[in-house]
Amino acid sequence: MAAGNGVLLSVRELRKAFGGLVAVRDVSFDVPEGRIFGLIGPNGSGKTTVLNLITAELSPDSGSVLFDGNEMVGRQSFEVCRARIARTFQLVRVLPYMTTRENVMLGRMFGSSPTAPAQAARDADALLERVGMAGRADLVAAQLTYIDQKRIELARALATHPKLLLLDEWLAGLNPSELRIGIDLIRQICRGGVTIVMIEHVMEAIRALCDRVVVMNAGEKIAEGAPGAVLSDPEVMHAYLGADDAAA
Amino acid sequence: MVLFEVFINGIILGGMYGLIALGLNLQYGVARILNLSYGEFFVSGAFTAFFTIMLWQYNPLLSLFVSLPIAFAVNWLIYQYLMIPLIRRAPDQDALDADVVLVTFGLFFVFQGLALVYWSGDLRGYTFLSTPVNFLGATIATNRLLAFLGACVIAGLLFLVLRHTRLGAALRAITIDPVAAGLVGIDVRRYSALAFAAGGALAAASGMLVSTFISFSATTGVAYTLKALIVVIMAGVGRVTGTLAAGILLGVVEALGGYLIDPALTIAINFGLFMLILLLRPTGLFTRA
Amino acid sequence: MLEALRNARFAAALTAIASVLLALVPFFSSGYIMSVFILLYANIALATAWSFFSGATRYISLATAAFFGIGIYVLAVAHVYVTVPLALAAAAVIGFLVALVVGLSTLRLRGVYFVVFTFGLTELVHQVLNWWEVKINHTVSRFIFTDVSNIAIYETLLFAALITIVGSWYVNQIRLGYALRAIGEDETVARHAGINTTRVKVICFALSASVMALVGAVLALRYPYVDASIAFNNTWSFQVLIAALLGGTGRAWGPAIGAIPLVLLSEFLAGTFPHHFSIALGLCFVVIVYFLPGGLTRLVLRLYHSWRLPQVKKAEAL
C-alpha cells in the first residue's frame, strides 16, 4: 500500500534545532520503494539527526515524515518499529549481557509480527546464518568483536520484518573483503523486498549499491541524483573539501 | 497582612532551600554524583551549631569553623575513595547514577545511624537572635533575616567564583562536558573532587543557618535532601541563579501551601510541586532546550 | 549438580519438596523459629518483587518501605469494615494504584527522576497519613483485632514467597521477561525493537508494588497496633535492596539467597543494637556494591563456568 507512485518514504520540510544550532534545515526527499537510497555528507551535516527524526528518537520542530502514506511524526519509537521501519546505529548498540541469539530474538518478539520466544529463537538462528554468524548464537554479545556486533545488530533490525531499513554507517571500518561481503549482503536484503536508506562515507559502497543519493551539508540538502552525477558535482566536492574519496 | 508575612517567610525559607540546593548542584552538576546522603551533612552542620551554643555557650556562627572543614574533608574522601572507582567502571551516566544511588543510599543509612547513636532521635532547637524585626511591614525574626543574608552572601560568592575566576570557568566547563573539559587540559578529577567537597560544606553551612530558626533531629536529613533534589531538578542541573530562583519558588509555595492548607504537609506540598514540574517541564524551568 | 538444576523439571520437583517440608515446619517447632521464618518469607517476597522490576530494568526503586507501609495501613483501616482476605486484596490494589501514579509521573523520564521520587515516597506517604490520622481521625495509632493464627500467616507468607519466585521465573521465560531485561541493558534498543517501554515499566513497577503491599498487610496481622511511624520505616527499603543485590538480580532465586543471611544477621543484631544494625548494614552494603557487583549468583555462576568450560573461555578471549 505505497503512496501510489512507488514512493515508500516521503520526508517533507523536516526541521530540527538544538538551542541555536539548526541541525536539520527544511530537508525533503522521497525514497522509492524497493531501492537503495543513499544519504551522504560530511560529518556533522545532520544525516544521523534525520534518521533519529524518522525513528522518533527525536521529534522535529516542523515538517512531516510520510511512510506508506501514514504520518510518522508524533508517534513513538516503538510504534515506528511496529510500522516496519528498522535501523542500525552509528555506534553499534547491542544488549551486552544477552546472547547473540537473544539479541536477535528481541526484534522478532516485539517487531511488526510479534512471536513467542521459542519460534523467535528459531527465526533468530536463521537470521544469524544469513548475516554470517551461524554457530555463534550462544555467545554473550559483549564478548564479540565490533564487526560481529554490527552483524547481530543488522540481524536484529531484520528480525523486526521491516519494509524500510535505515543503515547508519553500517559498512564503516571494514577491510576490503569484509566490505565486499557487506555490500553483497545489503544487495541481497534489498532484493528480498526491503527498501534501504544508507548513510555512508564509503563511496565505493554508495556507487555500487545506490540508485539515488541525497547529499547533506550543514543541515541542508545540497544535491540529489544518481551517485555518479552527484559525486562529481563541484558543490558536493567543495562540501567534502575536495576529499580524495569524492574524486576516486 | 498575614499573607504578606507568610510570603516573606516563604522567600526567606526559599533562599535557604536555594542555598542547600546549590551544594547539591555542585555535587551533581560538576561531579555528576547524585548524593542521597547530602542531607546528613546539613544535619551535621545543625548539630554542630547546636552543641556550640548549648554546650559551650559560643555564638553558633563560630561552629562553621568546625563543621565546614569537616564536611569538606569527609565529602572529599567520599569522592576520592568511594565515587572514583564507580566512575571508572560505569559505561555511561545512567549506569553511574544507578551505582551512585545505591552507594549513597547506603551512606545515608550509615550517617543517619551514627547520628541516631550519638545524638538520639530527639528534636533539637535553640534560640539565637530571635528578636523580631519590622521588615517592610512584616514582623520577621532576626535569625531568619540573618540566615537569608548568609545565604545571599554565600550564593553571591559562589556566583562570583563561577563567573570570574579560572576555577569557576573550569567548573562550568566540566558541568557542560567533562570529556571536552579533560581534552583542554582541565584536571576533571581534581576539580570534581573539589566541587563535591565544596557541596558538602555548603550543606553544613545551610544546616547551621537553618538551625537558628527551625528545629531539627537526626532524622530530618532526608527531608532536606529531598528539597535539594527537587530544587535542582526544577532549576535544571548546573545553574546558580536558576537554583536560587527555583529554591525561592519552592519556599514560597511551601509557605503559602502550609498557611492555606496545613503546615504539617510540607513534604506533600514539595512533592505536589515536583510532580507538576515533572509533568510540564521535566528538563527544568530555566533550561532553554 | 548445577547441570541438573538447570533442568526445569528437576528444579520444580525440588521446589515442591522444599515447599512441603517448609509448610510442615510450624507443626514441629517453637513460636520463635516460626517468627524467624515468617520474617524470612516476607523478606524473600519483598526482595524478589523488588528485583522483578528494579533488578531487571535498573530503575532503582527506594520505595519498598512506602508500599510495604501502605499495605500495613490499609489492613489496619480496612479490617474493621471487611473480612481479612478482602482487606488483603484492598492492600494489594491500593499499592498497585499508588505505584501506577508514581510510575506514570516518572517512568516516562530518565531513571534519575524515578529514583528521587521513590526516595521521598516513604516520607511523603508517612507524613500524609500521619496528618490524616491526626486531623481527621484524631488518633495516632490503630489497633488490629483479628483472630488469624500464626500458622495461617506463616503458610500465607510461604506461599507468597514461592509465588513471587515462581512468577519471576515464569516471566523470565516469556516475552515480558525479555522486554524487562532489554530495558535494563539498553532502553533505546528496546524501544527500537518495538517494545512499549513506558507501558512495560509502569505495569511491572505497579505489580511489584502490589506484592510489597500485600506482604505488609499480611505481616500487619501480627502486630497488636500500628501507627504511621511503625508502618513506614526506610530500613525495609534498605534491607530488601541488600538482599536482592547480595543474592544477585540475574536469577529468580537470587534475592531469596541474599535474604537468608540478612534475616539471620538482623535477628541477632537488630533487637539489641538497632542503630548499630543500620550502620553495619550500610557498610556491608557499600562492600557489596564494590566487591560483589553481580551478587552471589554471579559469583556462583562464574565459578561454575570457569570450572566447567575453561577451553571455550580461552577460545573466546580476543
Q: What is the mean pLDDT of residues B210-215?
A: 92
Q: Are A111 and A82 in contact (CB under 8 A)?
A: yes
A18 and B288: CB-CB below 8 Å? no
Are A84 and A112 spatial neighbours (Cβ–Cβ below 8 Å)? yes
- pLDDT category at A219 given cuts 50, 70, 90 is very high
Query: pLDDT at position A196, please?
Result: 96
Instruction: Provide DSSP, C43-100.
Output: HHHHHHHHIIIIIHH------HHHHHHHHHHHHHHHTTTS-HHHHHHHHHHHHHHHHH
Domain boundaries, chain A: 1-84+167-248, 92-161
Within an 8 Å CB–CB cutoff, is residue C9 touching chain A?
no
Beta bridge partners of C141: C227
Q: How far apart are CA A245 and CA A195, in angstroms?
A: 26
Count of other CB atoms within 10 angstroms of residue B5: 17
Q: In Å, how far are C95, C109, C175, C198 from C106, measured between CA atoms? A: 17, 6, 24, 10
In tens, the pLDDT along A66-101 reads 999 899 999 999 999 999 999 999 999 999 889 999
Q: What is the mean pLDDT of chain B?
A: 89
CATH class of B2-280: mainly alpha
Tell me whether residues C134 and B264 touch, CB distance under 8 A: yes
Nearest C-alpha of chain B: how many angstroms from A19? 6
Q: Is A19 on the interface with B (CB under 8 A)?
A: yes
Domains plus CATH for chain C? Answer: 2-316 (1.10.3470)
Cell numbers representing residue B257 in the block: 501551601
Q: Distance between terminal CA atoms of chain C?
A: 31
Q: Give residue-wise pLDDT tens across range B38-62.
A: 999 999 999 999 999 998 888 888 9
Distance CA B154, CA B95 (A): 33
Q: Tell me: the pLDDT tens digits for A138-196?
A: 999 989 999 999 999 999 999 999 999 999 999 998 999 999 999 999 999 999 999 99
- Which chain A residue's Cα is nearest to C179? A106
The residue of chain C nearest to residue A87, with distances taken between CA atoms, is C192
A244 pLDDT tier (thresholds 50, 70, 90): low
Task: State whether residue C120 sits within 8 Å of chain B by CB.
Answer: yes
Which of C186, C192, C308 to mutate to probe the A interface, most A CBs <10 Å?
A: C192
In this complex, which chains have at least 3 CB pairs below 8 Å with chain C?
A, B
**pLDDT band of B238, cuts 50, 70, 90:** confident
Query: What is the DSSP-derived secondary structure letter of residue B286?
Result: S
* Confidence category of residue A245, pLDDT binned at 50, 70, 90: low
C11 touches chain B (CB under 8 A): no
Please state, in angstroms and rounded to a whole number, the distance separating the CA atoms of residues B43 and B112: 9
Residue C278 to residue B274, Cβ atoms within 8 A: no
Residue C27's nearest CA partner among C191, C199, C150 is: C150
Tell me whether residues B109 and C115 touch, CB distance under 8 A. Answer: no
Residue among C59, C229, C278, C288 with most chain B CBs within 10 A, to mutate: C278
CATH topology for A1-84+167-248 is Rossmann fold (3.40.50)
Per-residue pLDDT band for C308 (boundaries 50, 70, 90) equals low
pTM score, two decimals? 0.90
Q: Which long-range contacts (CB under 8 A, 24 or more apart) does A5-9 make?
A: A6/A32, A6/A33, A6/A34, A7/A31, A7/A32, A7/A33, A8/A32, A8/A33, A8/A34, A8/A67, A8/A68, A8/A163, A8/A164, A8/A195, A9/A54, A9/A65, A9/A66, A9/A67, A9/A85, A9/A164, A9/A195, A9/A197
Show the cell assigned to C301: 555462576
Query: Among A106, A225, A210, B82, which residue's Cα sits nearest to residue C282?
Result: B82
Interface mutation vs chain C, best among A97, A106, A148, A161, most C CBs within 10 Å:
A106
Which grid coordinates are listed for C141?
Answer: 495509632
Instruction: Tell me which chain B residues have a C-beta less than 8 angstroms from the C-beta of C105.
Output: 275, 278-279
Domain boundaries, chain B: 2-280
Confidence at residue C315, expressed as pLDDT on a 0 to 100 scale? 37
Residue that wins the pLDDT comparison between C307 and B111: B111
Task: Give chains near B: 3+ CB pairs under 8 A.
Answer: A, C
Residue from the list B102, B107, B226 with its beta carbon closest to the beta carbon of C120:
B226
CB contacts, 8 Å: B289 with chain A: 18-19
ipTM: 0.90
Residue A9, phi then psi, degrees to nearest 5: -125, 130
Test C58 with B94 for CB contact under 8 angstroms: yes
pLDDT in tens, C113-138: 899 999 999 999 999 988 888 888 77
Cβ–Cβ under 8 Å, residues C45 and C215: yes
Distance from CA of B288 to the nearest CA of A (A): 7
Q: Alpha-carbon distance C188 to C190, whole Å? A: 5
Chosen from B105, B230, B280 to mutate, greatest number of chain C CBs within 10 A: B105
pLDDT band for position C314 (50/70/90)?
Answer: very low
Is B66 at the interface with chain C, CB within 8 A? no
Per DSSP, what are the bridge partners of residue B212? none
pLDDT digits (tens, 9 = 90+) for B54-94: 988 888 889 999 999 999 999 999 999 999 998 888 877 87
